[in-house]
Structure 1
């Protein structure tokens, strides 16, 4: 799964350049506040396995004005470092690596999670 270049942002983490993107419009589940915000990250030079990060906050475009915060580059950098420590290999091909960020804990998995993870 390749990340759409339009709307993506570049970030350099530990000397490696990545691209990341938050879905502009929330999914139906994100709009209702049922699932949290998610964003995707991939290597900028050689796209391989995409990192899909499920954040610990509602999507900013939710339909019920739930309190939220934007995703900052520092959040993305921390998620990248956490995923790399948990085994994400951005240059390898394969299914997306999923990282769950919940209040205070992080869990990485390479298996499909519940619905609403589209970034």
Structure 2
């Protein structure tokens, strides 16, 4: 399922433009809803969505916007890790899941 343009953020990693968005959906994060996650897709030719579980607790406070919970440098690092693990963002297929450990 493609990301909606509204609410997603643009990021360029190694010359390629992606869109990303923090997700509270259960298929993105742990089923108990306590792990923070985000989704990423290629901006020009969306294919397989990258689903990243950060391993960090999700703290959704009204004073914090979702974009403030995950930093762009974290997203860039997640994209690079997924690409090295075999994520092909322009190919069709099931979401590519990446689990990062909490730091």
Q: Please indicate the TM-score interval, normalised by the length of the shorter structure.
A: 0.7 to 0.9
TM-score, L = length of structure 2: 0.81
Matched, 1:29 2:32: yes
Segments ≥4 residues shifted beyond 4 Å: 25-28
Cross-structure match for 2:13: 13
Gap runs ≥5 in structure 1: 63-68, 105-119
- Once residues 85 and 93 of structure 2 are traced to their aligned partners in structure 1, the CA distance between those partners, rounded to angstroms, is 16
Q: Which moved more, 1:81-90 or 1:53-62?
A: 53-62
For structure 2, the residue ranges without an aligned partner over 5 or more in a row are: 62-67
Q: Which residue of 2 aligns with 1:42?
A: 41
Q: Distance in 2 between matches of 1:26 and 1:46?
A: 23
Aligned residue for 1:37, secondary structure, equals strand
Q: Counterparts in 2 of 1:71-90, with a 5 A limit?
A: 71-90=70-89
RMSD, aligned CA? 2.0
- CA 26–99 in structure 1, closer or farther in 2 if over 3 Å, else same: closer
Higher strand share: 2
Aligned length: 93
Paired residue secondary structure (1:41): strand
Change (3 A) 1:13 1:74: same
Distance in 1 between residues matched to 2:90 and 2:55, nearest whole Å: 26
Residue number in structure 1 paired with 2:65: none
Structure number, greater radius of gyration: 1
